[in-house]
Chain A
Amino acid sequence: MTFYYSMKQMFRSPLKSFLFFLLIGVSAFFLALGGNLLFMSKASLEEFEKSFTTIGTVEQTKKDLGMIKWQNPFTKQYEYIKDFKYGDRIREDVLDFEGANYIIKPRQRPYFAAYVEDMYQGLGGRLDIQVEATPLEAPTGQPTKMQITKVWEGSVEEGEVIYITDRSNQDEEPLPFEMGKTYVMRLTGWDIYQEPGTEGDNNEGQINEYYIQSGITSSQYTLDGEPVDDPITDALDKEYDEVGDIAFTDEVTEGFYDTEKGKRWIEAAGQQDHMSRLVLVQPTEGTELLMPFYRDEVVIKEGRDITEEEYKNKEKVCLIPDMLAIQLRKSVGDQVNLPLYAADYKGTPVDSQYGLGFSLLNAEGKMYPVFNEQEYKIVGIYKVVDEGEGSYGMGKKVVVIPWGAVPENSWKDNIGSFGRMSGANTSFQIPNGTIQKYQELLEKQGIKDLKITLYDKGYTQLKDGIENRKLMSWIFLVSGCVMAVMILLFFSNVFITGQQKRIAVERILGRTKKQCAGSILTGLLLLAALGSIAGSIAGWKATGVAAKKADTELVFDLSFSNAATGGEEKKDVKWTKPSVEVALGAGGALIAAAVLISSCYMGANLKKEPLELLGRIEE
């Protein structure tokens, strides 16, 4: 009865009822659309927050550009090589300013050289050798033809004839060799010279050209980047400064190897072996701080990445490249032993993948001893899918370990090379979406000669897009709420207060207040519920369409963002789908509001006695 009369009441004023249904539906649409867009924006932002990382690289910029003249001793042609000049070393501390809000502070990270026994690949290459040789002709200029009399290291033969050159010798002076004497030297293979008129099969007439390395000079730095004193190296450096180009060789005489210098030459002969067994180890506070990982040039093909927890706990775990895993016959879960003997703050692993760019002799003239040796559990095997650009690449045999797995500064006496901060060795992490603030603060510091490049894979633009969407969502939500309240107030007035007479008559006829409320509200709430459900579903569907449109716009936004921040990489983003629960929640909230508002109206009307509602009839 209640339902019948209530609905009859509603359908007797179809225009009002339809208008009420329609407007409630529109309110529900706005609420569901706004609520869902807000939900999607928040959920997506949270998701992006987890999957995006904003990093910065730091590079000390060059102050000047010089040229080094190199000569080809055979053709007498010259080539000029760029020589960048940098100012005094700038420490990463300068970036530790207030408000920087780093997640990971800027750090100039070294990589380590590890001597891995199982890496042995043969007797050593022809490129780096240590030999004793005697001139075959009196040097009158460059090159000097010499014959090897003893092989200390490298795959060359005694008796082999070679050319010795010093291409960087600016004075073009003959090398300081005298006929009949024997010299010890470290050489690097440079080219193959074909003797005129000797072209033929079996490498006939080919003579290898070798370039003189710095031999027994040491290379050791403190943690502050200062060179450690070494009398022998200092003397050689002094001579170099005074005389100009010198050949780093020593004449081998009777008892030479009992001298201090001679002992160094013996020690230096182990370097080729170290290079053959070289594995590079890159400690980091986060895989994403390494550009090849950040740029997805490297993918983990087996196992997993090092977890945040493992980074935090400085656990002895590692990622290794697939080729190294094959070479070492290791797989995920295996242990790998890494005896570390040198740290390099200047180069990057990719620069050193074929050999370290510094002498392995320390200031005492000894080969660097192992400073840390630990077993690391392999948690992931990665593959280099893109070798990247220059120093930003990954290299071929780089093991990634958590920073702190090796006790901090335990390598202080094993720093073989030190240089300026470069984008490839110095990076940091800041919270997503704070690039602009960071840049403003950085500008205020007035730091010179540093280039900071920030990468966010388009997060900033994405976030801006989401913020706009959130604003739009709020507009929809607030409009929906205001509209809903206004509609409910208005129609409650129409359907309830406008029905005072009916309420009074029903009460006079003996209906209880509860029955009256049921009679009046049933139709109203039913229409409100139907309108809310229809509007909510429409709002939910529309959110999907709106989100798709926004995603299309995002492609443009991302490319813009990349250009602005210097990150050419774009991350594929996955938007959270519209939630039917949120839509139903919006509809439910609207129904609840309808119940609340109409009940308030009903309550107020039922408080009055029937005669009051009819207008007190007085004579």
Chain B
Amino acid sequence: MERIIVENVSYSYQNKYQTIEAVKQVSCTFESGKLYAVTGESGSGKSTFLSLLAGLDSPKEGRIIVDGEDIAQIDRDAYRRKQVSVVYQAFHLFPLLTAWENVMYPLELKGIPRKEAKKKAAECLEEVGLSEKILNQYPKMMSGGEQQRVAIARAMAAGGRILLADEPTGNLDTENEENIVGLLLKLAHEKDYVVIVVTHNPLIAEMADVRMTMKDGKMTAAEEQ
């Protein structure tokens, strides 16, 4: 089922010296139950493309339709709160909150009572394979792999079933890298998530259901694997 339709999306921004056309006329679709790997060289526009999908910016041209709605026309805060979650290479956990609280955060944001949020957060953390002893630890006390799992658990807790990941394994060792890739695949295949991963990691590219390539802001290839 197509959940995301990208139609002729272009995006440019102004830096100090020039206008950079980061994304040019990109059109593609994303379905539930698949893991998409977006690859390309540095500066090819893949992270910007991911940000557009995440609703962190609006396309200058074209439109992104998620579950039938143009995200430019809807409340993008609510969109990020309810439909989409992003995982970054640097994890971006709240350093002053425990693993548990980090995962509870998006739930409480939605107005779910603390007790219920706590229970659901625990389930998400269990699903990403984190033991109970991690729950009350602060990010600084965890390994990179554990932090990324917490980040994924937090994304899961948000519940939108669209998971965007920007180099999620960039800071991880091989073992953790494999674990995270496995986790992302599990989310796509077992939990029916749309998982879009921007990556240089050949492992993810190989394991992905669809491999997309970007060059100079354009989507040059999209291969089912």
Contact = CB atoms under 8 A, between A and B. Distances in A.
A502 B93 CA distance: 8
A126 interface: no
B92 A619 contact: no
Interface string B120-131: 000000000000
A6 to B, nearest CB: 11
Given A510-B78, A510-B80, A511-B77, A502 B43 contact: no
A609 B57 CA distance: 8
- Among B57, B96, B154: residue with most chain A CB under 10 A: B96
A283 B94 CA distance: 86
Interface stretch (B61-69, B104-112, B171-179, B189-197): B104-112
B88 interface: yes
Interface string A484-515: 00000000000000000110110111111001
A617 B57 CA distance: 13
B56 A5 contact: no
Contacts of A502: 94
Contact of B54 (A1, A5, A508): A508
Nearest to B92: A505
A502 B106 CA distance: 13
A162 to B, nearest CB: 115
Nearest to B166: A617
Contacts of A509: 80-81, 85, 105-106, 109, 154, 158
A592 interface: no
Given A505-B92, A619-B46, A5 B158 contact: no
Given A510-B109, A512-B77, A619-B40, A5 B88 contact: no
A152 B78 CA distance: 119
Contacts of B48: 618
A501 B88 contact: no
Contacts of A8: 96-97
Given A619-B44, A619-B47, A505 B96 contact: no
A438 B126 CA distance: 91
Which size class do B's interface residues fall under?
Answer: 35 or more
Nearest to B106: A509
Contacts of B82: 510
Contacts of A12: 96
Nearest to A10: B96
B47 A617 contact: yes
- Among A12, A502, A505, A614: residue with most chain B CB under 10 A: A505
Nearest to B155: A509
B116 interface: no
Nearest to B51: A611
A505 to B, nearest CB: 5
Nearest to B20: A618
Contacts of A505: 92-94
A5 to B, nearest CB: 7
A153 to B, nearest CB: 110
Nearest to A8: B96
A610 interface: yes
Interface string A1-45: 100010011001000000000000000000000000000000000
Contact of A619 (B42, B51, B81): B42
A617 B43 CA distance: 10
B42 A618 contact: yes
B47 A510 contact: no
Given A508-B54, A511-B77, A5 B44 contact: no
Contacts of A515: 109
A488 B154 CA distance: 34
Contacts of A611: 51, 56-57
A144 B102 CA distance: 127
A611 B53 CA distance: 13
A552 B154 CA distance: 68
Interface string A503-531: 01101111110010000000000000000
- Among B40, B47, B158, B166: residue with most chain A CB under 10 A: B47
B175 to A, nearest CB: 25
B86 interface: yes
Given A509-B105, A509-B109, A617-B47, A5 B97 contact: yes
Nearest to A502: B94
A618 B43 contact: yes
B109 A619 contact: no
B41 interface: yes
A510 B77 contact: yes
Contact of A9 (B85, B96, B154, B158): B96
23 contacts: A1-B108, A1-B109, A5-B97, A8-B96, A8-B97, A12-B96, A505-B93, A508-B56, A508-B92, A509-B80, A509-B81, A510-B80, A511-B77, A511-B81, A609-B57, A611-B51, A611-B56, A614-B92, A617-B47, A617-B88, A618-B43, A618-B48, A619-B47
4 closest A-B pairs by beta carbon, nearest first, are A510-B81, A619-B42, A510-B80, A12-B96
Given A617-B88, A619-B46, 17 more contacts: A502-B94, A505-B93, A507-B77, A507-B80, A509-B80, A509-B105, A509-B106, A610-B56, A611-B57, A614-B88, A614-B92, A617-B47, A617-B166, A618-B43, A618-B47, A618-B48, A619-B44
